[in-house]
Each structure stands twice: as structure tokens, then as C-alpha cells.
Amino acid sequence: MEQVRQLVLHFLSSREVLFVRQTLVCHPLGQTKACSTTTFLVPMSKVYDISLTLPDDQKVTLQVDENTFILDAAAKAGLDLPHTCLQGWCLTCAGQVIDRPATCIDNSAALRYYPEDQEGGFVLLCTAKPRQNCHLVTHQAWAMKIYRRKRGRPTPGGKPMFDGLP
Ligand code: FES
């Protein structure tokens, strides 16, 4: 508790506005898990505006801190974006940044993400953490798979999402 008080005082003295992030933290406890909601205070300088354009052209802007995956922030905001593996592998959650390359996103948590993906503006939202304000288009799984295939990079053969792909 003293650490929290010190942290709050530090940010207040630096006149930095805080963003409150609540995360469900689970720890293994025997055969089960013990979960609790933990509150983090994040300086606003590390919170970014992430604008999403959905397939119906609807635009949504989320505030996402640098330690939160964009897919999680979207889910918390009530957006049901596509996802499957949640590990940065299957491409189901792919999005594409409007201004390429996708340097506004850190995708280093993905199990499989290539430099070419970043050059093409593709990101995997399940493992994407913001590093700047960013505008991206969601539902780009097929486009990312085709993009990778054209560059000789491996793509998951998951079904049925990619059935019929040339
Ligand atoms: S859900 Fe599989 S890569 Fe994101």
C-alpha cells in the first residue's frame, strides 16, 4: 500500500495524469486458479489512442496503455473482434495499420511475426501493444495470409477460416 501511495504522490507531483487499468490476474493454486482484479496506475503519457475501422466502416477509438494487448482492450470496450489462439500464431485477429510500416505497435509477444509483416502494416491484435497513437483496420486475416504467402512465409492452415484461399 505504501508503494501505491508513493507512486501516486510521484505522479501527482510531476502533474502527470493517471490512467487506471484493471486487469484480472490469475495464479495457479493446486488444481485450480485463484483470480483477482488488480488495479494499475499508468501515466497518461503511456496511454495511446488506438482507432479501429471495422468491416462496416464503423470507427472506434480506444485508449490503450503500453502494457495492454489491443484485443483485450477492445473486448473490454464490448467489441467482439475475431480471435482463436491468442498467442500471435493463427492470424485470425490480424489488423492492418493505415500508415505503414506498423511501427506504432509492438508485436514482440507474438509467437510468429516477421519483419515483412511489420513492413506491410500487419499486426496481430491479440499480442499487439501500442507504442504511439495508431489507426488500423480490423478483420485482415485473409489479407495477411495472402501477403505472407506471396513472400514465402509460412501461414497456418487452420480450417475453416482459410478454406478456398488461392
Ligand atoms: S488470435 Fe491467433 S494470432 Fe491472434
Give the tens place of pLDDT for each residue, 69-118: 999 999 999 999 999 999 999 999 999 999 888 899 999 999 999 999 99
pLDDT in tens, 20-48: 777 777 776 666 677 787 777 777 888 99
Q: What's the pLDDT at 47?
A: 93
Report if residue 101 sits inside a domain: yes
DSSP H helices, 34-153, are 70-76, 115-119, 141-150
Say which CATH number the domain at 138 has.
3.10.20.30
99, part of any domain: yes
Work out how many domains the chain is built from and give that number: 1
Judged against a pLDDT cut of 50, whether residue 19 lies above it is answered with yes
Q: Which of 25-34, 104-113, 133-142, 149-158 has the lowest mean pLDDT?
A: 25-34
Residue pointed to by grid coordinates 484461399: 165
Determine the distance separating the centroid of ligand 1 and the alpha carbon of 12, expressed in angstroms: 38
pLDDT category of residue 10 using cuts at 50, 70 and 90: low
More confident residue, 66 or 6: 66
Ligand 1 and 68: CB distance under 6 A: no
Q: Which atom of ligand 1 is nearest to the CA of 111?
A: 3
Ligand 1 neighbourhood includes 54 CB (under 6 angstroms): no
Residue 83 lies in a domain: yes
Q: Supply the residue whose CA is at minimum distance from atom 3 of ligand 1.
A: 88
Q: Name the percent of the chain lying above pLDDT 90.
A: 62
User: In the prediction, which pLDDT does 156 show?
Assistant: 86
**pLDDT class for 17, splitting at 50, 70, 90?**
low
- Domain extent, residue 114, equals 45-150
Residue 32 lies in a domain: no
Residue 111 lies in a domain: yes
Is the C-beta atom of 85 inside 6 A of ligand 1?
yes
Alpha-carbon distance of 131 to 150, in angstroms, equals 28
Q: How far is the CA of 123 from the centre of ligand 1 (A)?
A: 10
Q: Closest Cα partner for 91 from 132, 147, 130?
A: 147
Structural domain includes residue 155: no
Residue 132, in any domain of the structure: yes
Is any atom of ligand 1 closer than 6 Å to the C-beta of 83? Answer: yes
- 53 has pLDDT over 80: yes
Residue 144's identity, in one-letter code, is M
89 lines ligand 1 (CB under 6 A): yes
